[in-house]
Structure 1
Amino acid sequence: MTEQKPLTRPAAKLTHAGALVALAAAVARAEEMGVPQNISIVDDGGNLLAFVRMDGAKLLSRETSLSKAISAASHRQPTSRLDPALELKLAIASGGRLTNLEGGFPIIIDGVCVGGIGVGSGKGSEDVDVAKAALAALGAQI
């Protein structure tokens, strides 16, 4: 007789409270830099947990911030590391939800990806700086 394999497994999950901590840290850093941003935070399944469009942030960057967060969470790596040769194919295959634009990072805590953050409206380096402030506030891998 074969042994029954487990039907479930425990999983760490990013909470709404955790998402708000990250969001507050990102907003504080963006304000400090004087760069209004759109900031999206998703769970490991790409579901939106928190979002803010700061006063003055670019309207279209609202969507790119979410795409960055989803891309980072689904690929478990910063968006800037996604293969540029696949950019158009990724965008088409995902309905525009996957991108390799800078500013998206997975939220990895204790070696487990619990979500993603996407920041958009500034220069790529500014988006990255703001996202890293959020990761630091959570004690996540940077």
Structure 2
Amino acid sequence: MQYVKETLALTHPGALKALTAAVTFAEEMGVPQCIFIVDGSGETIASVRMDGAKYLSMRTALSKARTAASINAPTGTMSFEFGTSAGIASQGGVTPLPGGLPIRFGGRLAGAIGVGSGTGEQDFAVARAALAAIGADPL
């Protein structure tokens, strides 16, 4: 029986590179965003609230990142009822809103990104730009 497992962890230079790419993409779109990058356990590595981004989106962007890390999948796919119940049970730590993506390398979870303040598609586009900048698996 095996008692340990090998895990991946996104480094802070990787998180900062992803964050910079996300901000650049959001600026090019003209949509200021709140962006969180977390490790595999949902703890924040890097974050920013761009000038003009909705301040309440800080909370949703963090929840999107933590949800994506927790379920190792994009956010926005769970049913409204389940998402609402999970959000209440986790005191806002889980959200059904779109805009969160896991950060994977070779299929293995290394962290996640959550983006908020635009439409769901805009949030996902910014998150995908961050993943591409660090060579993470595309989603």
TM-score, length-scaled by structure 1? 0.93
Q: Distance in 2 between matches of 1:65 and 1:130?
A: 12
Q: Any gaps of 5 or more consecutive residues in structure 2?
A: none
Q: Distance in 2 between matches of 1:6 and 1:77?
A: 26
Q: How many residues align?
A: 138
Q: Corresponding residue for 1:14?
A: 10
- Are 2:102 and 1:111 equivalent residues in the alignment? no
Q: Secondary structure at the match of 1:81?
A: coil
Considering only CA atoms, is the larger Rg found in Structure 1 or Structure 2? Answer: 1
Q: Distance in 1 between matches of 2:93 and 2:60?
A: 8
2:46 alignment partner, one of 17, 42, 50? 50
Q: Corresponding residue for 1:71?
A: 67
Q: Any gaps of 5 or more consecutive residues in structure 1?
A: none
Q: Corresponding residue for 1:27?
A: 23
Query: How far is 1:138 from its partner?
Result: 1.6
TM-score, length-scaled by structure 2? 0.95
Q: Distance in 1 between matches of 2:81 and 2:105?
A: 30
Q: Corresponding residue for 1:80?
A: 76
Give the percent of matched residue pairs that are identical in Structure 1 and Structure 2: 53
* Matched letter for residue 82 of structure 1: M
Q: Corresponding residue for 2:123?
A: 127
